Amino acid sequence: MAALEDVRLWFLWLWRNPVMTILLYGSLVIHFLLALWAIYRRRRLFRMPLAEALQLILGLMIVPLLGQHVLGTRLAGNSTTSRIPTCTSC
């Protein structure tokens, strides 16, 4: 259990530092903009193969889905009493 706690603390430190936060949010914005650019480039939007349509839809949907997850975990982590919660029920 001590090894798991050490890895968890390292993992939380990695994802909750400002550099990784900027990279994470920046990648979400770039992903969304690339999906919009792919739609803009197409000449015929409604005559595309199903695989391309799914790729574009999923490219646009990943931003709200991951954004909701990231913001939810950030808010949940910030609302606790400590910055990095510990496992008390282990």
Q: What is the pLDDT of residues 4-32, one digit of tens each?
A: 888 888 888 887 788 988 998 898 889 88
Classify 42 as helix, strand or coil: coil
Least confident residue range of 21-30, 52-61, 65-74 = 65-74
Average pLDDT value for residue range 27-48: 83
Q: Please give the Cα distance from 21 to 63 (Å, whole number).
A: 15
pLDDT at 85: 54
What are the boundaries of each domain within the chain? 2-79
More confident residue, 43 or 68: 68
